[in-house]
């Protein structure tokens, strides 16, 4: 099935999927992306939903069911991810297959992640040219952290399988991270 045939059929549901966040503002961004996608491609894509892989609703199962309830027979997951990491290889396929199992007469596919594309490079250049963020001197407090207590500031992401010894700078694998 070619991608062009997918978007030209009215019974195709599109789910734009991200990781999900504990921050409502981040999750609202995905909803905004889905609404803008639906508006821009309204002539080709009548059923567009958004989903978070985890941490927030709607999840993939909920979005899949919504697409089916709106008349979709074929669902295309569009991951809002840059690369073919663990979420694209394992998590999204697993969650999508579980969601699809509830709807015997549906088909689905998971599109490639965004990847390296000239459009992404253009967007990065647009951000560079915007020059709308504060310029900080080394040691100066970042205003984005003004409401974050010192004890809550991270030196690395909590989901990372590695840990950094703050005294020595040595990097090691976290126990139990399966890396």
Active site positions, annotated? 19
Give the count of beta carbons closer than 10 Å to the beta carbon of residue 175. 6
Q: Token pair of 49, please?
A: 């939903």
Alpha helices in 1-85, H assignment, sequence order: 3-7, 24-40, 60-69
Phi and psi torsions of 109, nearest 5°: -150, 155
Spatial CA neighbour of 60 closest among 13, 92, 38, 85: 92
């Amino acid at each position: 099935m070619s991608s062009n045939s997918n978007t030209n059929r009215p019974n195709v549901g599109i789910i734009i999927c991200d990781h999900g966040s504990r921050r409502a503002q981040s999750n609202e961004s995905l909803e905004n992306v889905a609404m803008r996608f639906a508006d821009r491609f309204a002539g080709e894509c009548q059923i567009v939903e958004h989903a978070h892989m985890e941490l927030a609703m709607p999840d993939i199962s909920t979005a899949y069911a919504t697409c089916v309830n709106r008349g979709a027979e074929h669902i295309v997951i569009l991951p809002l991810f840059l690369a073919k990491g663990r979420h694209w290889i394992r998590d999204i396929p697993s969650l999508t297959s579980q969601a699809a199992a509830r709807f015997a007469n549906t088909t689905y596919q998971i599109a490639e992640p965004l990847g390296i594309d000239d459009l992404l490079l253009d967007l990065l250049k647009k951000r560079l040219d915007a020059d709308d963020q504060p310029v900080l001197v080394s040691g100066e407090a970042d205003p984005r952290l003004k409401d974050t207590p010192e004890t809550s500031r991270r030196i690395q992401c909590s989901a990372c399988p590695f840990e950094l010894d703050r005294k020595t700078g040595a990097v090691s694998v976290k126990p139990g991270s399966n890396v």
